[in-house]
Structure 1
Amino acid sequence: MRRNITTLVVILALLIALILIVKGIRTAISPVNEHGDENYIYFRVNDGETTHSIAERLEREGLIKSDTAFITLARVTGADKRLQAGLYRLSPTMSSNEILDILTSGRIYTNRVTIPEGFTIEMIASRLEEAGIADKARFLELCNKPHLFEGIPNEAKTLEGYLFPDTYEFTPDTDEEEIIGSMITRYKVVYNELSADYDGDLSEHQIITLASIIEKETYLDEERPLVSSVFHNRLKNGMKLESCATILFIVNRPEGPIYLKDLKIDNHYNT
């Protein structure tokens, strides 16, 4: 009888201990701030980084309660073998399970931004700053130093015309030089495809300059071949382009009337 009581006590003690352990684990992997505001923290997992290192940094950043519990959970679920490098957006309101799910999914956080056709470098810089992607002043500073970027013609004084309009995705820690590099790379791909069969006398820089003027001269695609023909004939005959678009570019107006004083501006963009 005494032996049965002893056995029962041991079993109860083990059950209580197991319940406490499970409760402790559940608490350890629960959100740091379950009912708080969803404030996001950008967290980068580096190439080849160990689960131990990741867990330590997550705890240090206030994103998990226990690095030990996180490591144990990762090993038990096999997530420690599926962690992917990249920048992630995490929150203290997330549980360790949720964080592991994100870190193994590869759902890297990026900012998406669309640069429309016809945007000047000034307009691109403003759009990127508004999206929280780049510092406008730094972006423009680099755009005025085209020699820093590979593949840009020596004649180019700025990167005007060399930043391809498209939709891009950048991580928040992408610097301005990398952003510009991505846009130039996209430009190069498209330019090389379109100019493969060109056998005219214009240089790459002249082609881009003229194309930019034609694009601004009219917003209708069907009119651009005609505008292009007019400008090419003027160049062939040694005439001035006399483009309204270049005057508007000088005075920094996207559209509107052109005044006599505008035509007299001494500027190399004045055609």
Structure 2
Amino acid sequence: MNDLDLNTLLGAEDDEGQTRRRTRGSGKRGNGRRRRRRRNRGRFIAPLLAFVVLAGIIGGGGYYGYLWLSDALVPDDYTGQGTGEVVIEIKDGQSASEVAEELERQGVVKSARAFTNAIANAGKSASLQPGSYKLRKQMSAAFAVTMLVPENRLLAKVTLKEGLRLSDTLTTLAKETGKPVKEFTSAAKDAEDLDLPSYAKGKLEGYAFPATYDFQPKSTPKQMLAAMVKRFNQTAEQMDLEGGAKELGHTPHQIMVIASIVQAEAGRQEDMAKIARVIYNRLERKPQMKLEMDSTVMYALGKYGTAATFAETKTRHPYNTYQNLGLPPGPISNPGDHAIEAALNPAKGDWLWFIATDPNSNVTKFASTEAQRQALLAEYKNNGG
């Protein structure tokens, strides 16, 4: 092989090698570009995936956040007027939120928040009144609000007539409220807890003011009697009992004794001031006359009426005004405001006696002399007395 051929061969070989190298080199550069494209694609996809994931998280959180906010703004609540029966007591000073918690605990409303929202929407958050209310289980909060009004309070209405003795008052209270009479009797003996005025001398007779009372079902006998004494104290203040008694030269207690006798003896309100005057005239007469009031004798005997027999007037007892001078030790009944007013403002007159001449009409007539008295007695007998 000559040099030309060798060079040609070598050159060809070199050209081929170079071609192969170029081809291999070209291949490497192409692979790099493809890898770079894949890397570029990865750099674009990763943020996209992150955004999608983040959006999912935010979206899911927003959904659950919406549910939470929805629950907070629209709390669980029942629908309708409920079923069954439950008594709820609102205590003095309780807030609407405290009442709401009790309603939820008792199963009246589904959630306390539902009730506080409903009562706020109704503008009644500050208008809840203490007392017992009859509601239902599983009521809508809005309907529960409409039921908690003063008109729906459960009350024991008790009317105590003027002139009732304490024993009758306690029996009536027990009958009307369903509570044992012995509890009222026990409470009546504890003067300190009843806020009796000092001049009552620790005795409730005469100071359990007669009126119509609305008692809560859970009121205790002591609370009921205290309410009656409170009513008396209010009446005494309005009438200026202490000031009026002082002007008449008597104690407030003596005025109440006189008022109780007036209440027991009077058949009509218009006669009360005259009967009071007869009592004062007898007390102030010189020498003092015995009152000789049949009602005090009957009280001493535990009987009723205003016509004691001759034998009954001989009974030895501190309350028998046929046997003892002056007023009895205490009131013989619980007088009303008209009798107290009469005792504080007796009519003007010189009468010393009064007689119910007609038992059927309750008409009472008055006498200043013994002759007039005898005439009235004859009239009484003629009318069947």
TM-score by length of 2: 0.53
Contact 2:199–2:252 (8 Å) recurs in 1: no
- The answer to whether 1:125 aligns with 2:167 is no
Aligned residue runs from structure 1 range 92-107, under 5 A: 92=136, 95-96=139-140, 97-103=142-148, 105-107=149-151
Partner of 1:234: 282
What CA distance in whole angstroms lies between the structure 1 residues aligned with 2:231 and 2:214? 13
Amino acid aligned to 1:265:
T
Contact 1:161–1:208 (8 Å) recurs in 2: yes
Distance 1:189 1:26, change over 3 A: closer
Aligned residue runs from structure 1 range 63-212, under 5 A: 63-64=108-109, 66-67=110-111, 71-72=113-114, 74-75=116-117, 78-79=120-121, 82-83=124-125, 84-92=128-136, 95-96=139-140, 97-103=142-148, 105-107=149-151, 109=153, 110-132=155-177, 135-154=180-199, 156=201, 158-194=203-239, 195=241, 196-198=243-245, 199-212=247-260
Contact 1:121–1:159 (8 Å) recurs in 2: yes
Distance 1:55 1:203, change over 3 A: closer
Give RMSD over aligned pairs.
3.3
What CA distance in whole angstroms lies between the structure 2 residues aligned with 1:73 and 1:151? 42
Question: Alpha-carbon deviations, 1:5-62, whole Å to 9, x = none?
Answer: xxxxxxxxxxxxxxxx9xxx998333442xx5xx4524325634463x5444324434
Residue 232 of structure 1 deviates from its aligned partner by 1.6
- The answer to whether 1:58 aligns with 2:103 is yes
What CA distance in whole angstroms lies between the structure 1 residues aligned with 2:88 and 2:226? 23
Contact 1:129–1:136 (8 Å) recurs in 2: yes
Amino acid aligned to 1:219:
G
What CA distance in whole angstroms lies between the structure 2 residues aligned with 1:128 and 1:79? 41
Structure 1 unaligned spans of 5+: 1-20
Structure 2 unaligned spans of 5+: 1-70, 322-385
Residue 73 of structure 1 deviates from its aligned partner by 5.7
Question: Alpha-carbon deviations, 1:129-179, whole Å to 9, x = none?
Answer: 222175432222232343544452346352111122222222222223332
Partner of 1:4: none
Distance 1:56 1:76, change over 3 A: closer
> Of 255, 258, 262, which aligns to 2:305?
255
What CA distance in whole angstroms lies between the structure 2 residues aligned with 1:217 and 1:127? 22
Amino acid aligned to 2:255:
I
Distance 1:28 1:264, change over 3 A: same
Distance 1:101 1:255, change over 3 A: same
Distance 1:44 1:218, change over 3 A: same
The percentage of counterpart residues that share the same residue type is 20
- The answer to whether 1:269 aligns with 2:319 is yes
Residue 261 of structure 1 deviates from its aligned partner by 4.6
* 3-state DSSP of counterpart to 1:88: strand
Amino acid aligned to 1:212:
S
Larger-gyration structure (1/2): 2
Residue 263 of structure 1 deviates from its aligned partner by 2.8
Partner of 1:43: 89
Partner of 2:293: 243
Contact 1:74–1:80 (8 Å) recurs in 2: no
Contact 2:90–2:99 (8 Å) recurs in 1: no
* Structure 1 segments of 4+ aligned residues over 4 angstroms from their partners: none
Residue 184 of structure 1 deviates from its aligned partner by 1.9
